[in-house]
Structures are given as C-alpha cells and as structure tokens.
Structure 1
C-alpha cells in the first residue's frame, strides 16, 4: 500500500499529464498550425493571478526534480524552445527556471553560424552544447532552425557548401527531418531526454509586442528592422512550422505547442511540460550500501564527540525529534478532542 506522500505524488503527476496532453502533437499526425492550435488558449485558468500561483508551484516542483536529477547523474534533459520573434523564449526561460540551481542548468543561444561551424555538418554545433548527465540544457532556438529559417531562406544553404543541388527539393527537407529524428533517438537511447516546446504566437499579438518594443525606450534595443522583414514571411514560417511539427514529433521526442499570446499562461505550460518529463524519468537520490552507512555512522560519532561543552551533540537530529514529539502530542490532542465530542 502506498503512503500519503506517494499518493500525492501520483495524483500530481496525473494532473500534470492531463494538463499537457492537449499541447502534445501526436506522432504521425498532420499539423495545420493555424487550425489545430489556438495561440490565445488559457484552458480554463480564469486570471493571471491564478496562473502565477500555479507557476510558483511548478517552479518548486522543478527545483525538487532538478536536485534529484543531479544527484542520480544518469539522465540529462534538453529543452528546445522554438518561436517567432517576440514569442517569449527569454521570459519563459527566466521565469520557469527561476527556482532551480543555476549550476545544473545551461542555456545555449544559437546565432548565425561561424566559419568554423559551417565547416562541419549542420548538427555539429548543437552537439557541442548538449547537457551532461544530471543537467538540464536549454536551447534558445535549436537545431530546428535548420528546417525553419534555412527553409524560408534557402539561400542560406549556399553557405553550408553541401554537395549536389538541394534548393527547393522536398526530398531534401524530408531527409533532414529523418536525420534530426535519428539524432534525437540516439540521444534518448543514451539517457538524454528531449523536450520540444513551440511557443505559438498569433500575428496580431506579435504586432502588438513589436509596437511595445518601439514605444518603450528601455525595449528599443530588442527591436530591429530584420524583425519586421521576417514578419512579411509569416505564411512561409507557418507552413514550415506545420511541416516541422508533423515530421518530427516522435514517440521518443514529441512536440508540445504552447499557446503564447498570454505570456503567463505560456510559462505555466512550459513548466508543466518540463515537469511532466522529469516525473516520467523519476530520478532518485542514490541509496548507500551497508558499508558506506557504517562509515557514515562512525563519522557521525566523531563529529558528535567534537561538540563544545554545553552544545547539542547533533542539533539537527534533536530538532527533528522535538518536531516529531510536538506532532505526536498534537495528534493525541486532536484524538482526545474527538473522543470528548462524542
């Protein structure tokens, strides 16, 4: 029979699984982004205040599981964030990971590839930034740029110096999808879980956010003319996103499409998706063997013997004992109250 803590953990895992299920792109499904996913969806959460409370709970949960992940040291987690400009990637990282140990999280931002990177295969620079076991890695934009921006701007393929003619050929993109799926399968088989989140922003909300970057002086630096030029290719990007989601949402690395018109809701979703993955991994604190436990007991006695005159031999153990005694007395008191009430 499971104890109360285990039942609470199972119930929480079930609630999170139910919450993220509508966001998941079913492997093998054909996605039409504009029809299948609503960027303004809030899934019954009535207010931003309620949403922020849920996010705080999610941050606490992530901090707990990150500690276990680091202690176990057998799995790594890679969170891939994709979105159009102003989609909220930076804010999602900042808020969702606010409570975790920064030593166990590494963020990689991928800009225009360097000459050295272009001298290698297109996945080389991403492989160099993968997390280690026990870590959470975040790709702020990822290897999926190679089937998104490169597809919308096929002239970028010229810089990759690929053999043969590739531009405009559907079979070329299908091959890239296969290569990416195979790479992610290889990583997953070796203990590295891939969490893929697409922040789905509406065209109107992007327009509003661009205007805010222009109107607020402190945000002017975030806007560039290139952002506006890319906006003119909105339909091409929507088609590229739809094909990407259809071709690369796999059983071992599914995509989650997160409604991003409400930033606070997008952060809740991203937190829930990452928590769902960590719960599924279920990392545990290592258990020590009898020999190691005996050595700990010897060290404990040595430290207790070093206590100064008048000091507690083990203050932490004594505080636990006192709390346990108080809890027992409170429980007995409640039982007595119930008996008198009868």
Structure 2
C-alpha cells in the first residue's frame, strides 16, 4: 500500500498558528485509511526502513542535525511512539532525552538551558521527550512553580508566558538558521482514551509502575492544559519549526504519522553520502593491492 505523504500529513502539519484551535483536530482520526493492523505494521516497517537510510546519510554527511520534540498529556503514547519509530535507527546517531522535573542546578539557569545543552550534534537525531515547552504548559497551569525558579519579582508579570513563547519561537528560528531540522509532535489523546489507558495500567501488574497518583491530579486540569497547548502551538508553529497535531487514540496511527513526518522532512534535506574525489578514488587500486599483499 502506497501513501502520498504530502496529502497524508497535510491535516496534521501546522506551519502557521494563526486561527489554530484544538477542537478542529479529532484524537480518534485515522485519515479514513481503512486498513488492518497488519497493513499498518507493514507501512510502519517501510517507513522505518526509509528513515534508517536517511539517518545513515545524515550521519555520514555531517551537515544537518534533526530535533524531534514530543509533547503530550500522560498516557498519550510518547514513549511507545519514540520506541517504535526509532527502532531501526543506528543508536550511534540518535540521542534521546526525557526531561523530568528540573534539578536545583537547572533551576539556577534560564529555562532554555537544560535543553540547549542537550541539542543534537550535526549528523545526529535528537529526541526530546518533553522539552522547554513544559515552561509554557505545566508552569502555565501551575504558576506557583515560578516561585522556585528564582526569577527577579519584577520579571514575573502577566505577560511572562507570552514572553517565553516569543523566546522559544526566536530560539527555534536561530536553530533552523544553524542547520537544525525541527519537528514538534503534540500527541493529541482524548480524555476518554486517557481514562481507558489509566485503568489498563491499574489492571495490569506489569504496568503498575507507570501509574502515579499525580496523573489523576493533572487530569483534573485537562481544560487548562488544552488551552496551554493551543496557545503554544498558535505562538510557535512556523514553516521551519512545524507542529504536528497527531491523533493519538489509536497508537498504530500515531506511529504512522510520526514516522511519515520525519521521513517526509528528512528527504527534503538533499542528504547523500559524501563523494570521494577523483584523486582519492585513483588510489583505491593501490590500497587494494596493499591489502591483498598482506
């Protein structure tokens, strides 16, 4: 089964946040593909194979870097999406960072610092499981967190989150100018589906470790989080740093969209293996004779 990536990804790719609203995006959407799970697995396998090829050229060419940012509510499937989509990529060329609650050291720096110091090198793919966007999501919902960030009081005003969003947009523009391909994924899970997944974690002893009481507390702020995500996407979606609002109620479809978005964007970078000069190639026969003479 072949898929036209441009048409397939268009409903989920946001390059201009003006007029964007989350209510226009259905978490249950599957693009009316009408395919079985076996077909979805085959499509994903094909996408992973292509991603592996592109990653090898990215690494060898050593010109571009790729930053993949994943944001979502709890149980939306960030971990599994990263695991499945990146399963065939050479670990040597991938760096994955899961950002938890900031440490004391991190709180003594600006809010971008801990992510900036873990940006991918040229030739590598960096995956951020949560990111600096937490500063305009969790912190916006729980503004008491600002008190622990040691900011001068006069800088903590009503516009602080608008200022942070502006800083993020400028930061991503800077990264793009330095050769970083930025793709941001909001895994859009419904409140009803999150409930099902939480209950499944409670029912399965092997998944008990995934459940925390705090997850239920955060669920109580659902509307505030949706508003925060909407504001973040509206303020930071750009052609050089697009958001993908990925339907997340069906994990197989989530993985297809994520894999397709990465492949589609990387294939536009004109990646190729470095070419050997004619002078160097002329020496190959000499190198061969030396090896065969050993």
Task: Name the TM-score, length of structure 1 as normaliser.
Answer: 0.83
Q: CA deviation at 1:165?
A: 4.4
Aligned position for 2:170: 182
Deviations 1:303-322 (A, max 9, x none): 3455xxxxxxxxxxxxxxxx
Aligned position for 1:151: 140
Residue 28 and residue 92 in structure 1: after superposition, are their counterparts in 2 closer, same or farther (change >3 A)? Answer: closer
| Higher relative contact order, structure no. (Cα contacts within 8 Å, ≥ 6 residues apart) | 2
Q: How many residues align?
A: 292
Query: Does the 8 Å CA contact 2:17/2:233 hold for their aligned counterparts?
Result: no
Deviations 1:145-168 (A, max 9, x none): 110001000011111111234667
Residue 134 (1) aligns with residue 126 (2): no
Residue 38 (1) aligns with residue 26 (2): yes
Relative to its length, the structure with more helix (as a share) is 1
The higher radius of gyration belongs to 1
Aligned position for 1:108: 97
Q: Distance in 1 between matches of 2:59 and 2:6?
A: 23
Residue 209 (1) aligns with residue 202 (2): no
Residue 21 and residue 131 in structure 1: after superposition, are their counterparts in 2 closer, same or farther (change >3 A)? Answer: same
Which of 212, 225, 229 is the equivalent residue of 1:241?
Answer: 229
Aligned position for 2:214: 226
* 3-state SS of paired residue (1:253): coil
Query: Does the 8 Å CA contact 2:172/2:241 hold for their aligned counterparts?
Result: yes
Aligned position for 2:254: 266
Q: Distance in 1 between matches of 2:17 and 2:83?
A: 32
Q: Distance in 2 between matches of 1:242 and 1:123?
A: 20
Moved over 4 A (4+): 165-168
Query: Does the 8 Å CA contact 1:45/1:51 hold for their aligned counterparts?
Result: no
Unaligned segments of structure 2, at least 5 residues: none
* 3-state SS of paired residue (1:138): strand
Query: Does the 8 Å CA contact 2:48/2:88 hold for their aligned counterparts?
Result: yes
What is the alpha-carbon root mean square deviation over aligned residues? Answer: 1.4
Q: Distance in 2 between matches of 1:247 and 1:96?
A: 28
Residue 257 and residue 28 in structure 1: after superposition, are their counterparts in 2 closer, same or farther (change >3 A)? Answer: closer
Residue 78 (1) aligns with residue 67 (2): yes
Which of 16, 23, 30 is the equivalent residue of 1:27?
Answer: 16
